[in-house]
Each structure stands twice: as structure tokens, then as C-alpha cells.
Structure 1
Amino acid sequence: MSIFNETLTSLHEGLANKTFSSVELTQAAFKRIAETDGKVEAFLALNEEEALKQAQAADEKGYADGNVLNGIPMGIKDNIVTDGLTTTAASRILEDFVPIYDATVVKKLKAAGAVNVGKLNMDEFAMGGSTENSYYKKTKNAWDLTKVPGGSSGGSAAAVASGEVIASLGSDTGGSIRQPAAFNGIVGMKPTYGRVSRYGLIAFASSLDQIGPMTRNVTDNALLLEAISGHDAKDSTSMNLEVPKFSANLNGKVAGMKIALPKEYFQEGVSAEIQDAVRKAAAQFEEMGAIVEEVSMPTLAYGIPAYYIIASSEASSNLQRFDGVRYGYRAENVNSLEELYIRSRSEGFGMEVKRRIMLGSFSLSAGFYDAYFKKAGQVRTLIKRDFANIFAGYDLILGPTTTTTAFGIGEKNDDPLAMYMDDLLTVTINLAGVPAISVPGGFSADGMPIGIQLIGNYFEEGKIYQAAYALEQANDYHTKHPNL
């Protein structure tokens, strides 16, 4: 069985018709992982014994209830805690850490009968845009093994793109679902902040982090978001709203929908091929009856500095819990508590994590708070205002997901500022808290995937899915896959 020819719905039908069992499907997933993961290196930990037990339980329960996730093998990003299965956030400081509880999203997937086949590689503590910052391994792009898969959810994207699993969960703080989705030619949704519980997500920047689904097509993405969304009393930022049936209105109709196209997306630094792909998508929407108009988003240029100050400041606060005392890596042969703190963190954290902790600590320090952190918060308010002004007259915003296609492994390791600038088109969405999706939008001349981004107003993921599905059906990009 090739997962490339399947969807969640087709797999469910196969299970319901007893064409195959969940045990057989899960065994096929592990076989595919054994064949390809030596090249792609998407997984950090496999859950084979427990996964087969979960698959057996799904088969015994049966498939008459119409739950499309029951018995389906999936992967989980390694900053989402899983009871009894190592969760390291790709950091040495959490090496061999085994949680004693499940994140809320994992509980929801278990309740739906989904099978967790393992934990997926990422940039350490979700800090990075290439999955080169993992302590354990460097994940490769399945379309070209010399290129990065993006980050920080690079393992989650590569596992789906390479056909190891049909779906995975990632997390998005400044584009960490959408950018790797674009680099790998798959669909990645960053939901509205508060749509999905963050309980059990190892925090990077708490006001920006959001868990979301990564799949091969829009319908599967909508189905997975339905399963993991909803209010959670354990997360004070979780919104108590009814979860819509996102998959119910995927009919390809966008006639009359008003779509904004910010002129700032077509600037120097955004590759000509990606600009052309966005213009082609705009033309296709117009052919389907949508109204596409140019608008201005003047605060786009300030997204990167505001984001990196806010995110790094929150990271410096969140990561102080890793001190070598309670859990995780502990330095040996120390002579004082202060030396334990310093050496445990110095040896346990990678270079990018240290860089961001130092930047955040500086931004929050006396004498600099007003000039940096407070100012970044004020810019964040202006960015929110920009989105509000656009959504007052438009249903969606259309644009590119990334400035370039996937770059070479090691290409930007010596220039962190160049890596940060790659987030230009994604960070403002997290600062505002609005939802956005990346869908396949074509290929570059060298055969690398291009991502198209659709941004919606708060809790209007349904509109995003409606337009994304229409665009998907107008093309065949989502049916293409890498040849490993």
C-alpha cells in the first residue's frame, strides 16, 4: 500500500470494509519508515509496540461510527508530551525524558482511536527554521535530500511528504507549521490562537505557540483540526467555542468571496517564481468568481524585529525551568548550586537556544525593557490593527508562505539573521493570533515545492479551508510526491 494514493477517508473506508486492518496499516507505516527514514531522518522515537496495541484496539472496536481517525497511524512533534514515550523537544537537556501524562491533543487523538507511531524531529525547543538545530539529527527534505525540510516542524512535514504517515501534528510559533509545509509540498494549518489547547506543549513563546495539523490535502487537514480543537480547562487561553465541522463546506465555491492581496508581499527578497505562483493563484480565484484586490499592510516590515524580541523574551522566561535540578540533563562534578545551573544549561542547550535566551533576557532587563520589549508589544498592537482593517472589508488574505523554496543544508548556519528574515511572511500571523494555512502552489524550476498562504480572521478557519480546497481542486500539486 502506498500512502500517497490514500486519504483519511479512503483509509477509513478500507478499514470499515475490512480491505485491511489497522494492524496491517500500522505495520505498513513502520515498514515505510524502515525503508525511508534512514534518508529523511524524520523520527526521533518510534512507538512500535504500543502503536500495534492501539491498532489492535481500533480493530476490535470496529469502524461503524464513521470516525475517520480511528485506526489511522500518525506522527507527533517531539515537543508535544506523550505518556510513556520520550519527549525531548530535540534538546540534550531533555534527553531520555519520559512524561507521565499526555498533552490534551494527544488525549483527543487517542479518544478518536488514532495510532501514534512515534515522535518527530524538530529544531530544539522549536527555535529555528530548518530542523538543523536538533541535538539528535538533521532531517532532510524528501524532495531533495541536500536541502532542509524547514522548521521547526521539519520532521512532521518530512514524514508526511515522504509517505511515512498520512498526517502529523506540528506546532507553530512564527511559521513553524506553514514554512515546512511549503518547503515539503503539503498542507499545514496554524489555527487561531486559543482554538487548540496548548496543555502539554513544551512552551517556547506562550502567547504565540499553537498546535496544528499537517496533511497531504485540505480535507484531511480539516478533519484533523476538528478532532484536536475545543475548549480545555487546563489551558487558560483555550477558547470555549463550539468546534465547527470544517470539512462540511468543502465544495469548491468561492464566488463572491473578497480576497485581499497585500502589495508588500511582492517585494525584493521574495523570489520571482513564488511571486508568479501567488499571482497565478489570484487569477484562479478570480476565474472562480472571487474578488481579488490589492491592499497595503504597512507594518509587515516590523514583524521580524517585534516577533524576535517578544518570542525570545517569553523563551527566556519559559526555559528557566530547565535548571538541572528537577528533571532533564544534569552536569556532573559540580561544586555549587550556581555551577550546577550554569553548566547544566551551558551543556544542555544548543547554540540557537542560548542565543534567544540571551536576546530575551536582555530585552527584559532593567533599562532596556521600555526600549525593546514594551516597544515590540506596541508594534504588535499595530500589526493586529492592520489585520483588523483588512478583515473589515475582506474575507481572506492571499500571499506567499515563504520568500524562497527550501535552501541547502548548512547554507544559512553561519548567518542567523538571514535565517530569521525567512520568517518575514509568517510571523505577523502569530503576533496577531489569526489563523493561516499553507497549501501547495506549484514548483520552482529546480522541482522544489512552493507554498501559497491563506490568512483568515479570528476563528474563521472554515473560510480558509473553503478557499484552500477550491485552489487545491483547480490544480494537481497536492497529488505530486517525491521519489525516494
Structure 2
Amino acid sequence: MSSLDELSAAEIAVGVREGAFSAEEVARAALDAIDQREGEVAAFLQVSNELALNVARATDAARLRGEELGPLAGVPCGFKDNMQLLGTRTTCASRMLENYESNFTATCVGRMLAAGVTPVGKTNMDEFAFGSSTESSAFHRSNNPWDTTRVPGGSSGGSAAAVAAGEATLCLGSDTGGSIRQPASFCGVVGMKPSYGVVSRCGVVAFGSSLDQVGPFGRSVGDVALAMDALVSGGADPFDASSQACEAGFLSALEAPVEGRRVGVVPQLMEMEGLSDEVKDGIRLAERVLEDQGAQLVEVELPHIASAIAAYYVIAPCEAFSNLARFDGVRYGYQEPGCATLDEQTARSRAHGFGEEAKRRQLLGAYLLSSGSYDKYYYPAQQVRTLITQDYLRAWGSCDVILMPCVPRCAFKFGEMSDPTQMYASDMFTISNNIAGNCGISVPLGLGPDSCMPLSAQLQGPAFKDQSLLSFARALERGLDLGRGLGAGAPVAPGFAKRGGEL
């Protein structure tokens, strides 16, 4: 078979179904790639060699019996380590859950398995998804495959790095305020946050229950579309009250023309403090490409978007405080030995089981929900959320999607963001999407001429218009013609520098 880096998810699945190569061969190629590259990239917390080979052999046996294989048959896939998968640990990159064995499989993971993927492991993340760099992982950091002195982003940094490094063809991540799109941008891959409710969260450890959404990473928009078809198969999940029934057909709708359709641009966002010149140039390039594809650019306003970070860092810590209260050292999580009383055991277990960022966010949530602070902070934050949602609804009257930056700059170096508030600003262009429940996607543009690191554009679409969003992402990808990503050679767009060398 060809190198795993050179094959798309669709090509792998077709090859396995037609017998051009076996699922076990693909699995071994993926596991070999992980073995060769993990020393530098460190994308995984757990590599599931035995599970991967067993699933691959079962796929091959089903083909030999003449059974119809799934649309993702044999495709190597990694899962963020906040997703339950039988036969693996689910640690959320925290000492609190270091030894927790998954006792069931999350719905999103199960649907990917039903589509035929081979599970190659659980990917690294910021602890309990609190972070933008994977530096808060309790076990180790993950590195950006383009430059291992730089962060891969977060909190789904391990998933983005694994796809960029060719260790997996697909990965799943979760996005609460940008945790799929930001690392996808930093690592030069495609990352999609579906609309709130499109993908079931049953079996995914919660951070912010009104904000969280599961989505895929891939090296192309087509691969992401295939994953989305798998994730929505089976309809609404009765075990997730927010789950909605959504039609499949993402792949079949991918090449829908964008000619005559409207792309919103927000001038105020291009003037926001901290936005680098090369990101601005990248967005202008994306505008030209979409116009060349026949789309019409229209100016829209999002007058309250600058308040999104302030609202998010009230709402999200409050929900995190509520969700993580269950980890008390009694039924769930790390249990401190030698404690004389239940109160002492709970206090010490939480103090030693959680990392600094996890404790910071829970303490902030406890304060914001306390008497006197709730009315002062939490209620106004929810009012701002309503205003931001209304801004988007007005904008959708003028456009089909909105084009904006995904991140203010390319991937930063480890240790560069010492102030937590600086780190929080990494999500300044993604958070509003979660607040409003819309869909969003990060599409690679190539390498910046200054940083020689991946840059991207973000497209956002109305809630439950995910298929339409992907057709715009495909149009942008088609116009750029970047190739498939790091494994297929460094992507490069007109006017952007190409970094020499390969992984």
C-alpha cells in the first residue's frame, strides 16, 4: 500500500473494501508511524496497539465473509482522552482520573467504530480541557509537528498534532471555546466544531455543558465530511438531552457550488488588538479565493463580539465548577490515602488530584456562583450571551457564512504565554461561536511568510447549517489547492512561504 500519509480517509476505506490492502496493514502502518514520531510529537496518552489490531482483523474477517464494510473501514482514528472507549483509560489528562478505566463507549466514539475506523489510541489534551496549549496536561505536553518548540494548541492539541504528523488519519476532539479550531489552525489541519446538539456528548466528560461540542480533525475537508456523516448516523441520541436528529449527506453535499452565495466579513475583527499582519494577509487571501469561486463578499456587523471572552470566562468556569464537583475522592477519581475524616479526604484528594489550571477555574466558578457575585457577574454574562446570539441571527439575514480569523497569530512557543489571561486571548475569535451554538471550521491557508508556521481561516455558519458550511470550506480548500497537509508535503498558498524539510 502507499504511505499512510499519502492516503485520504476515503482512499483507505475504498482500498480496504476492495482488498487492495488489509485493515491490519493500515493499522500496522499507523502504529509504526506513532512509534517513529511519538518521541518528538507526543500526541498520545495511550496507544491502543492490541485494540487497534483486533478491530482491524475483525474488519478484514468481515470483508472475507462478504459483509458490507462501513464508509470508514480501516481508517486509523484517535480519540481525545475525555471520551470513553471500552478497553482504554479515560484520564482527561488529569491525575484525578489517572487510573480510571472506561466502563462504556461514548456515543460519538461508538458511531465512528460502527463506520469502521480502527482506534489507535487516546490523544493528549489540556487537563479537563482547561487550556489552549496542552501545557496543563498532568502527564506530558504535546508538541507541534511543524516546530516542536511550539505548542500544538489546545485543549485538543494531541488530536490535531496526531493528524498533522500522520499518526492518525482522523481524530475526534471537543470544542468548548475553540478547542478544535484553534489547534487545527496551529497544526495546519482541518478542524470542525459542529452546531451545538449535532453530535452526541454522551460519554464525553463534561467541561461546560451549554458550550461543549464534539467534532473531527482531518487533513482535508473531505475527510472531515466523511467523519461527520458517521457522527450523525443513527439520529438523535436518547442519552443526550441536547442531541438533535441531523441528516447525513455531508460528503454528497461537499461540492455544492458557492457561486452567488454570500460570505460575510466583519471589518471590526480585522482591527482587533493582537491580530498579526500575516493572519490579516491570510484572511485577505481567503477572501480573494472565495470570490474567485463565485462567492459574494458582504460586510456584516457583530457589535457585541468583543464581549464574548468576558462572558465566556464567567459562564464556562461556573459550568466547570458544577461538572467537576463529582470528583471528590469518594466515588470518582484520585483518593488521598491516610485521611482521618471524609472532609479531609475530599479536600486533600481534590488538592492533589487537580492541576493548577483546573483548580483556578473551579475556584473562579465557585466565586462567580456565590451569593452576591451571581447577580453581579453570572446573570449579566448570560445577558451578553443573548446579545451575541441575536447579533449572529441578524448577520445570517445578510450572509450564508462568515469569514474571520481563527486565531490572532500562529502557534506560540512553549512558556511564551506565562499570564493565563494571555492564553485565554488565544480563543478571541472562536468563543462567540460556542456562545451562540453555531457551527465553525478552521481551514488551512498555508504557511506564514514570517513564522513559517501554519495559518488558517475560520468559517462560521448558522446553527444546523453544517453541510452548507462544509461546502464553503471545500470551495476555499479547492481554490487554495494545498494538498493534504504535513504528511503529503508542506501546504503552500500563493504569496506564502513554504517551509523546507519534512517531519
Q: TM (normalized to structure 1)? A: 0.98
Opposite residue 295 of structure 2, the aligned amino acid is A
Deviation track 1:331-377 (CA, whole Å, cap 9, x = no partner) reads 11112111111110110001011110011111110011011010100
Deviation track 1:208-260 (CA, whole Å, cap 9, x = no partner) reads 00000000000110110110123100001111x24230111222621011111
1:404 and 2:409 correspond: yes
Out of 276, 282, 300, the residue aligned to residue 287 of structure 2 is 282
In structure 2, distance between residues paired with 1:312 and 1:7: 38
Out of 342, 349, 357, the residue aligned to residue 344 of structure 1 is 349
In structure 2, distance between residues paired with 1:284 and 1:11: 29
C-alpha displacement of 1:4: 2.4
In structure 2, distance between residues paired with 1:308 and 1:321: 21
Contact 1:124 1:353 in 2 (8 A): yes
SS at match of 1:249: coil
Contact 1:438 1:453 in 2 (8 A): yes
C-alpha displacement of 1:131: 0.5
Instruction: List alignment gaps of at least 5 residues for structure 1.
Output: none
| Structure-2 residue corresponding to 1:247 | 251
Out of 360, 377, 383, the residue aligned to residue 388 of structure 2 is 383
C-alpha displacement of 1:72: 1.6
In structure 1, distance between residues paired with 2:413 and 2:256: 36
Deviation track 1:390-435 (CA, whole Å, cap 9, x = no partner) reads 00121000011000000001111x2000001111000000000000
In structure 1, distance between residues paired with 2:51 and 2:471: 36
| Structure-2 residue corresponding to 1:132 | 135
| Structure-1 residue corresponding to 2:265 | 261
SS at match of 1:462: helix
- How many residues matched? 482
1:273 and 2:278 correspond: yes
Contact 2:198 2:243 in 1 (8 A): yes
Out of 430, 435, 454, the residue aligned to residue 449 of structure 1 is 454
SS at match of 1:450: strand
SS at match of 1:292: strand
C-alpha displacement of 1:66: 6.2
In structure 1, distance between residues paired with 2:414 and 2:483: 25
Out of 347, 362, 365, the residue aligned to residue 357 of structure 1 is 362
Out of 153, 157, 165, the residue aligned to residue 154 of structure 1 is 157
1:12 and 2:17 correspond: no
Deviation track 1:105-149 (CA, whole Å, cap 9, x = no partner) reads 111122222111110000000000000000000000000000000
1:310 and 2:315 correspond: yes
Opposite residue 376 of structure 1, the aligned amino acid is A
Give the 5 Å matches for 1:63-78. 65=68, 67-78=70-81
Q: Percent identity?
A: 45
| Structure-2 residue corresponding to 1:232 | 237
SS at match of 2:60: helix
| Structure-2 residue corresponding to 1:36 | 37
SS at match of 1:88: coil
| Structure-1 residue corresponding to 2:430 | 426
| Structure-1 residue corresponding to 2:113 | 110
1:438 and 2:442 correspond: yes
Contact 2:326 2:332 in 1 (8 A): no
| Structure-2 residue corresponding to 1:84 | 87
| Structure-2 residue corresponding to 1:182 | 185
RMSD (CA atoms):
1.2
| Structure-2 residue corresponding to 1:216 | 219
Q: TM (normalized to structure 2)? A: 0.94
Give the 5 Å matches for 1:324-343. 324-343=329-348
Point out the more displaced range, 389-398 or 291-300: 291-300
SS at match of 1:298: coil
Out of 476, 480, 498, the residue aligned to residue 475 of structure 1 is 480
Opposite residue 81 of structure 2, the aligned amino acid is D
Instruction: List alignment gaps of at least 5 residues for structure 2.
Output: 491-501
Opposite residue 33 of structure 1, the aligned amino acid is I
In structure 1, distance between residues paired with 2:128 and 2:155: 8
Contact 1:152 1:176 in 2 (8 A): yes
1:300 and 2:301 correspond: no
Out of 105, 118, 123, the residue aligned to residue 120 of structure 1 is 123
